[in-house]
Amino acid sequence: MDRIRIVGGHKLDGVIPISGAKNAALPLMIASLLTDETLELHNVPRLADVSLLLRILSNHGVDHSIAGKRLGQTSETGQSISLRARDIIDTCAPYELVSKMRASFWVIAPLLARMGEARVSLPGGCAIGTRPVDLLIMALEKLGAEIDIDGGYAVARAPKGLRGAEFAFPKVTVGGTHVALMAATLAHGTTVIDNAAREPEVVDLAECLIKMGARISGAGTSRIVVEGVARLGGAEHHVLPDRIETGTYAMAVAMTGGDVLLEGARPELLQSALDVLSGAGVDISSTNEGIRVRRNGSVIEAVNVTTEPFPGFPTDLQAQLMALMTRGKGTSRIRETIFENRFMHVQELARLGARIRLDGDAAYVEGVARLKGAPVMATDLRASVSLVIAALAAEGETMVNRVYHLDRGFEALESKLSRCGAEIERISG
């Protein structure tokens, strides 16, 4: 099993290209099931989750092709993938595939909308909490689907097609909004989704669906209106830049010091996180090329943050901020309100010398003068990269184990950091 070895103490200077957003690419790929024409996606990151989803879509009969190298393209830039579901040959998504990636459950929406039936394995729990699919099922039932749970599978039927409806999610859910959007595009009549997620990835999906012929208004607000159409066609779409990757590298620069341009990043996608970094004493500026992050000798100030749905501070940057605050001046308070059990990185950060006290949904991080390298183990995607951030500033060597989590969400992480001066390498086997 691969590990990553990091020797801390090096400033980061240079340029880091920001990849396409995984959390946008996955629902966009799933949307290919809604049409028998070709959906061409550009700037798709090279990630383990993308490869797995291609396997899942192939199981349903989706043909795909990945474009060859283009002039100026490197392993750190996105790829182009063409997807075509001319004929859906199987409406079942089996447990052995869905269990490896929760987002694959979302195939239930286009399968049901286009074919009138779907049998999709329930994804089960995960390391950062149960994250149930009850709100996704609720949305489909509001649209007229009949859904039974049988042997660990959600068995959905809508033999006469889905019907438009008006409903409100009891709490904001990105997955539920993705599912409702995709299902409503082919439903008979008008659908109104209240308390919808406002995340940029939801907007990106809506924009792609509109290119395919969907009639959607209000994406990016808490009220989305979808007028169903008889069929959708093909389209060409560029995946938006990854705001979580942007925030992660911004915190890495803040942790180590230095001056880095995050090339292609868009500040409006993560303004709340950038505001937090500015409050911590980091110099953030927008340029025509992206976002420039600088910290040269200034103290990292302690901050108080609560995770919230967009446009608030994202839960997917909570672990990274905690790593940064281990070197903050004073005590920071970080509240996690989105997912339970998302403080599992605390024990591993403590191995590096961090002082963190947990109290319910809050973590109190007392800044320390120094961190010291140690062997650590990743528990999930965001926790693993928080250990990388801490290791970049720790004295001596840190060995991060179980880095397959990183491969699920960060494209070419070692090469991006090493090009900017980090001493980091992957050790295979």
Q: What is the number of alpha carbons within 13 Å of residue 298 lying toward its C-beta?
A: 18
Residue with tokens 């969400």: 409
User: Any binding-site annotation on 132?
Assistant: yes
User: Any binding-site annotation on 380?
Assistant: no
Residue with tokens 């409050």: 279
User: Any binding-site annotation on 135?
Assistant: yes
Distances (CA, A) of 143 to 35, 146, 165: 19, 9, 6
User: Any binding-site annotation on 150?
Assistant: no
126 carries an active-site annotation: yes
User: Any binding-site annotation on 134?
Assistant: yes
Q: Which of 92, 126, 208, 420 is catalytic?
A: 126
Q: What letter represents residue 122's amino acid? A: L
User: Any binding-site annotation on 131?
Assistant: yes
User: Any binding-site annotation on 408?
Assistant: no
Cα angle, residue 146 at apex, residues 95 and 217 outer, rounded to 5°: 95
User: Any binding-site annotation on 90?
Assistant: no
- Residue 370 near residue 357 (C-beta atoms within 8 A): no
Buried b (16+ CB within 10 A) or exposed e, 182-211: bbbbbbeeebbbebbbbbbbbbbbbbbbbe
DSSP letter at 165? Answer: -
- Residue 233 near residue 208 (C-beta atoms within 8 A): no
User: Any binding-site annotation on 204?
Assistant: no
User: Any binding-site annotation on 133?
Assistant: yes
Residues placed in the known binding site for UDP-N-acetyl-alpha-D-glucosamine: 102, 131-135, 316, 338
Residues placed in the known binding site: 22-23, 102, 131-135, 316, 338
Residues labelled as active-site residues = 126
Residues placed in the known binding site for phosphoenolpyruvate: 22-23
